[in-house]
């Protein structure tokens, strides 16, 4: 009797294992990112002629790096599931009406067939809090602001360049005016007169302020004692 039971269990296990060999898991969407309090849909799909019992598993990553799986309770009003079969592909859908922050995690389908079970690849659901707009501006206002910024940027580029050009122009005008004044100083002067005056000045400097007494002896009369 025991031997017959062992043979039956081995045969049944072989049949069940052969059934799992025909299972082909479809690619799951790796990431679903949804804003807080919005709807979300996660699916797991496979090709299999059998009809396994399906449970949704949520894997939560703890702070120490481990994963804690938990069976989802679909009896609440925040989520439900459904099944869709198209072209030999069976898809199980998990629908969230309003996602919460603690709904973030990895979701997988657990396919149970007899004593065997297998997990699908899974989809990670990320719930985030959207940024609040401080200013609710229309598109026309945004376009006007962008245009004004462009005009200001253009002015910031043109004004310094224009000032530098004006300054350079004034400096060139002053240099030309100074050159003309220097030319006017020497206009009307006769070079021959300048040379004769220069030679007279040189002779005066050589003779000195005093004349030789010997040369002036004829003009000086000494008084007799």
pLDDT tens track for 90-142: 999 999 999 999 999 999 999 998 778 899 999 999 999 988 777 777 888 88
Residue 9's pLDDT is what?
A: 45
Residue 19's pLDDT is what?
A: 58
Residue 203's pLDDT is what?
A: 60
Segments in the chain below pLDDT 50: 3, 5-6, 8-12, 14, 213, 216-217, 220, 222, 224-225
Q: Give whole-number Cα distances, 5 to 1, 12, 41, in Å.
A: 6, 10, 45
Residue 18's pLDDT is what?
A: 52
Residue 74's pLDDT is what?
A: 80
Residue 196's pLDDT is what?
A: 63
With b for 16 or more beta-carbon neighbours within 10 A and e for fewer, the 74-104 pattern comes to eeeeebebeeeeeeeebebebebeebeeebb
Q: Which fold has domain 21-128?
A: Immunoglobulin-like (2.60.40)
Residue 11's pLDDT is what?
A: 45
With b for 16 or more beta-carbon neighbours within 10 A and e for fewer, the 112-148 pattern comes to ebeeeeeebebbbbebeeeeeeeeeeeeeeeeeeeee
Write the CB contacts of 30 (distance below 8 Å, at least 6 apart in sequence). 121, 123, 124
């Amino acid at each position: 009797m025991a031997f017959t039971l062992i043979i039956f269990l081995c045969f049944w296990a072989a049949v069940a294992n052969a059934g799992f060999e025909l299972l082909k898991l479809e690619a799951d969407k790796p990431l679903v990112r949804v804003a807080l309090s919005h709807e979300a849909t996660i699916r797991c799909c496979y090709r299999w002629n059998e009809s396994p019992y399906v449970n949704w598993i949520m894997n939560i990553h703890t702070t120490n790096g481990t994963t804690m799986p938990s069976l989802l309770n679909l009896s609440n009003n925040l989520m439900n599931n459904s099944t869709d079969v198209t072209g030999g592909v069976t898809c199980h859908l998990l629908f969230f009406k309003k996602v919460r922050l603690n709904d973030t995690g990895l979701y997988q389908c657990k396919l149970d067939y007899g004593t065997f079970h297998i997990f699908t690849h899974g989809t990670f659901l990320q719930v985030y809090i959207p940024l609040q707009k401080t200013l609710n501006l229309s598109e026309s206002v945004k376009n006007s602001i962008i245009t004004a910024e462009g005009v200001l940027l253009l002015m910031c580029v043109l004004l310094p360049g224009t000032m530098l050009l004006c300054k350079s122009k004034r400096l060139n005008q002053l240099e030309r005016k100074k050159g003309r004044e220097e030319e006017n100083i020497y206009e009307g002067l006769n070079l021959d007169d300048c040379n004769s005056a220069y030679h007279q000045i040189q002779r005066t400097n050589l003779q000195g302020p005093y004349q030789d007494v010997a040369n002036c002896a004829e003009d000086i009369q000494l008084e007799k004692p």
